[in-house]
């Protein structure tokens, strides 16, 4: 679980007991009393690792990238939307960085969920982690001074951990009108039958394990 902080700073694992207490306190007083549990709709694949890279893209005008860059951006966004379990406008309320004794860094964000475009959020706040092993970590690391209180569009995919709990990988993008409208167009092309079929296939694959 992600621990909550009040500023962007680095802490060592030895401080986690105090931070864990703060996290538990926030969890106890935040979020609706009736929530929708996070539920994966399809297996998390190698391709998903690239699409949901635990990173942030602050480009507000993809067409301005030009040429192949713009084409790749559009294709990735189409695939990302189709694979997402949750797409929602969010605000970064908390950003905390920590370093473990081996020197590995993690950036941890608590985002307040606003309007949901696809899927149902499990709570009013969602915890996101970007580890230094993630593809998108450098994008969070280089923008960590800007992200706090920023409004973004979050695309999340849930995955089941070995212990049965559910976590997410994510990709954050600017909430520019041009991007939101493209995402909405991709969502509208995806039929409810497609989502139901994906869920049935995932449930079936779990039953075969």
Instruction: Please give the tally of structural domains in the chain.
Output: 1
Residue whose token pair is 């370093």: 99
- For residue 115, being part of any structural domain is answered with yes
- For residue 2, being part of any structural domain is answered with no
What is the rounded distance in angstroms from the CA atom of residue 107 to the CA atom of residue 96? Answer: 6
- For residue 183, being part of any structural domain is answered with yes
Torsion, Cα 193 194 199 201, to 10 degrees, reads 110
Q: What is the pTM of this model?
A: 0.76
What is the rounded distance in angstroms from the CA atom of residue 156 to the CA atom of residue 119? Answer: 10
- For residue 3, being part of any structural domain is answered with no
pLDDT in tens, 54-82: 999 999 988 888 888 889 999 999 999 99
Confidence of residue 91 (pLDDT cuts 50, 70, 90): very high
Predicted pLDDT of residue 191: 64
- For residue 1, being part of any structural domain is answered with no
Q: What CATH number corresponds to the domain at position 185? A: 2.40.50.120
- For residue 4, being part of any structural domain is answered with no
pLDDT in tens, 37-47: 899 999 999 99
- For the chain, the distance separating the N- and C-terminal CA atoms, rounded to the nearest angstrom, is 26
Q: Could you tell me the residue range of the domain that residue 123 belongs to?
A: 10-32+39-207
């Amino acid at each position: 679980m992600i621990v909550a902080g009040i500023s962007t700073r680095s802490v060592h694992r030895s401080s986690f007991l105090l931070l864990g207490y703060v996290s538990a306190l926030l969890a106890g007083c935040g979020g609706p009393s009736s929530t929708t549990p996070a539920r994966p709709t399809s297996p998390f694949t190698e391709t998903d690792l690239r699409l949901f890279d635990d990173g942030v893209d602050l480009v507000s005008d993809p067409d301005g990238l030009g040429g192949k860059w713009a084409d790749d951006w559009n294709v990735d966004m189409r695939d990302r939307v189709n694979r997402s379990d949750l797409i929602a406008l969010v605000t970064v309320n908390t950003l905390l960085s920590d370093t473990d004794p081996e020197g590995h860094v993690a950036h941890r964000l608590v985002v307040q969920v606003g309007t949901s475009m696809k899927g149902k959020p499990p709570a009013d706040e969602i915890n996101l982690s970007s580890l230094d092993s993630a593809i998108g970590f450098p994008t969070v690391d280089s923008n960590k001074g800007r992200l706090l209180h920023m409004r973004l569009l979050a695309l999340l995919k849930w995955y089941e951990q070995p212990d049965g709990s559910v976590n997410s990988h994510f990709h954050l993008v600017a909430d520019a009108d041009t991007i939101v409208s493209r995402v909405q167009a991709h969502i509208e092309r995806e039929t409810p039958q497609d989502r139901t079929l994906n869920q049935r296939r995932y449930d079936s694959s779990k039953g075969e394990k």
